[in-house]
Amino acid sequence: MFLPRFRLLIAVLATSLAGLSLHPHPALARQAAGARPAQALTVILPQARTPLPVSQSGDQLMVALDDLAPLFGLTLREDGIGGGLVVTAANGKRVLLTPGQPLASADGRLVSLPAAPARDGGRWLVPIDFLPMAIAPVTGTRVEVRRASRLVLVGDVRVPRVEIRQQEAGGVIRLTLTVAPRAGHQVTHEGNRLLLRFDATALDPVLPAVTPGPLLQGIRLGEGPATIAVDLGPRFGSYRASAATHDANSEVVVELVPAFTDQALPVPPPSAPAAEPLLNLAPPRPSVRTVVIDAGHGGDEPGASGPSGALEKEITLAIARRLRAVLEGRLGLRVLMTRDGDKTVSLDERAALANTNKADLFISLHANASLRPATRGAQVYFLSAAGAGTEASRVSLASGALPTLGGGSRDVELILWDLAQLRHVDESAAFAAILEEELRGRIAMNVRPVLQAPFRVLAAANMPAVLVETGYLTNAEDERLLKTAGHQDLIVQALLHSVIRFREARERGITAAPASSPAPNPSNPPAPSPSRPTP
């Protein structure tokens, strides 16, 4: 609290005082007696703040020199002969005061005070302006008195005045903060309040009276030296903060926007998906008999491409053909290909082929691309339903139908086609986890090996389904490997062993039962199996 560079000095009587009248004026006692205590000022120093008691005398705020002495490192000495007072700063410079005279000699310069110093019992009172007029020049310290806000700023402190106005229009509350002089700021949303932290020692705020409402509950000084807290109401939805500077001032506008009204969700009909699914009436123990292999892209849609010219559609078809041969030859499975040539096939047709043929597993093969050439490694994806709810999209439908080849549709167990995959997400996740393990032992995996995303081609598949990104064509090494038969065979081996393991698990009934799976969290998909890494 003490300004450290000051030290105590014993003043010597200034000879210049000799010429001044040093006899206390009889009126002084009355004047001092007329001073009544007033609300203390707050002195703000660079590292501290402290109250400064003051009294009101007429229109003047008076402060005791005894209270100023420790703040400014002043030494006081009465001139026993003349009744005057010598105020000595740590640097040896002096201020001379004469009772009854509204004058002071500050380091040899005469300054006119708005009121004369007064004696109050054993203390000397001086008008508050004594600080900027006499103390500041003598001590070399900046002193600013802000009467209205009852602040005394001492030294290198930044205490911007922050005046807040509140307007409301169209349900939005706009708070305009005029900051003078300008100061940097940050707005953060913490719990049920907004905090505006200013780059300042303290604030000199003018806060509006706030009637607590659904959007705004109050505005007050927050914890911390230069923080304003805006207490938010239950209707608060979001905020926008903007700033502009005008000359020496800045203006911060914070808009409080109410939450969009919650429209009640319609009550689903009892026979809708919450009901026990008809899938449980399906064949007793699911196995894996029919597999659909989907070679990604094709025809007009080449997909990703590599620096040496490899095309995703060619890589995926090559792997698909090898996989078909292995699944048919080694496992005796019925295998269908969504394309077996360089053809353009729509995403709907691909899922429809699998649905029409009641496939037990849908494997979509792809090769990836990144804007970062170093990105490489295989990844396994399954569906997340990341859609946002929409009132407009909630419509009723008389019957559930899946598109089938030939353009017709058939009712399928009331499972709606675009929702079909959601029933199988747990099994899809289980297969993805197995496949990730099998791939990991054979080829390089990406840092994010198993992921969920809203895939167009998987959404409609009414069976466990995964999408395999076999590597990054934009990575030179991955591209080189993906073109080789040996590397393609490693991927096929991983898929083969995954299908075997998945089939065994299904036959033993240890994969997740379909239909009871909750919809995955669109923002943060849950981990479907222990082997799936935390996203």
Partner 1 sequence: MRRSLFVWIGVMAAVVAAAGLGAVVLSRWLASGVEEPAAESGPAPVDETRKIKARLFYVADDGVHLVPVEREVPLGATTADQARRIVEALLEPPPSPLLSAIPAGTRLRALHLTEAGQAFVDLSAEVRSAHPGGLTNEILTVYSIVDSLTVNLPGLTGVQILVDGHEADTLAGHVDLRRPLARSTFWIDEDTPR
By CB under 5 A, name the binding residues for Zn ion: 296, 303, 366
Q: Shortest gap between Cβ of 448 and partner 1 (angstroms)?
A: 5
Q: Could you say which of 385, 444, 500, 505 contacts partner 1 (CB under 8 A)?
A: 385
Using alpha carbons only, how large is the chain's radius of gyration in Å? 41
Q: Shortest gap between Cβ of 244 and partner 1 (angstroms)?
A: 5
Quick check: 242 binds partner 1 (CB under 8 A)? yes
User: What is the rounded CA–CA span in Å between residue 310 and residue 399?
Assistant: 45
Comparing CB distances to Zn ion, the nearer of 215 and 304 is 304
Quick check: 391 binds partner 1 (CB under 8 A)? yes
Total binding residues toward partner 1, as defined by CB under 8 A:
94
User: What is the rounded CA–CA span in Å between residue 344 and residue 530?
Assistant: 38
Q: Could you say which of 10, 110, 265, 510 contacts partner 1 (CB under 8 A)?
A: 265
Q: Could you say which of 10, 110, 122, 260 contacts partner 1 (CB under 8 A)?
A: 260
Quick check: 516 binds partner 1 (CB under 8 A)? no
Quick check: 396 binds partner 1 (CB under 8 A)? yes
**Residue type at position 286:** P
Could you say which of partner 1, Zn ion, none residue 263 binds, taking C-beta under 5 to 8 angstroms by partner kind? Answer: partner 1
3-state SS, one letter per residue, for 275-293: CCCHHHHCCCCCCCCEEEE
Quick check: 5 binds partner 1 (CB under 8 A)? no
Quick check: 316 binds partner 1 (CB under 8 A)? no
> Which residue has 């009414």 as its token pair?
462
Could you say which of Zn ion, partner 1, none residue 476 binds, taking C-beta under 5 to 8 angstroms by partner kind? Answer: none
Could you say which of partner 1, Zn ion, none residue 18 binds, taking C-beta under 5 to 8 angstroms by partner kind? Answer: none
> Which residue has 């005045």 as its token pair?
161
Comparing CB distances to partner 1, the nearer of 146 and 174 is 174
Could you say which of Zn ion, partner 1, none residue 274 binds, taking C-beta under 5 to 8 angstroms by partner kind? Answer: partner 1
Q: Could you say which of 4, 190, 523, 530 contacts partner 1 (CB under 8 A)?
A: 523
Of the chain, the end-to-end C-alpha distance in Å amounts to: 52
Quick check: 148 binds partner 1 (CB under 8 A)? no
Smallest CA-to-CA distance from 38 within 116, 125, 98 is with 125
> Which residue has 């199996």 as its token pair?
529
Map the footprint of partner 1 across residues 458-497, applying CB under 8 A. 459, 467, 469, 472-474
Could you say which of Zn ion, partner 1, none residue 138 binds, taking C-beta under 5 to 8 angstroms by partner kind? Answer: none
Q: Could you say which of 371, 406, 486, 530 contacts partner 1 (CB under 8 A)?
A: 371
Long-range contact set of residues 272-280: C-beta below 8 Å, sequence gap at least 24: 273/419, 276/515, 277/413, 277/415, 277/423, 277/514, 277/515, 277/516, 278/413, 278/414, 278/415, 279/413, 279/415, 279/423, 279/514, 279/515, 280/513, 280/515
Q: Shortest gap between Cβ of 467 and Zn ion (angstroms)?
A: 8
Q: Which residues are 165's β-sheet partners?
A: 176
Contact 177, 241 (CB under 8 A): no
User: What is the rounded CA–CA span in Å between residue 50 and residue 149?
Assistant: 15
Could you say which of partner 1, Zn ion, none residue 375 binds, taking C-beta under 5 to 8 angstroms by partner kind? Answer: partner 1
Q: Could you say which of 116, 159, 422, 466 contacts partner 1 (CB under 8 A)?
A: 422
**Residue type at position 42:** T
Map the footprint of partner 1 across residues 18-37, applying CB under 8 A. none
Comparing CB distances to partner 1, the nearer of 39 and 242 is 242
Map the footprint of partner 1 across residues 46-105, applying CB under 8 A. none
Q: Could you say which of 18, 248, 272, 485 contacts partner 1 (CB under 8 A)?
A: 272
Quick check: 278 binds partner 1 (CB under 8 A)? no
Q: Could you say which of 446, 488, 498, 511 contacts partner 1 (CB under 8 A)?
A: 446
Could you say which of partner 1, Zn ion, none residue 341 binds, taking C-beta under 5 to 8 angstroms by partner kind? Answer: none
Instruction: HSE, CB side, 13 Å, CA atoms: give it for residue 480.
Output: 3
Sign of the torsion formed by the C-alpha atoms of 501, 503, 509 and 511: positive
Quick check: 369 binds partner 1 (CB under 8 A)? yes
Q: Quick one: angle between helices 425-440 and 485-507, nearest 10? A: 140
User: What is the rounded CA–CA span in Å between residue 213 and residue 94?
Assistant: 57
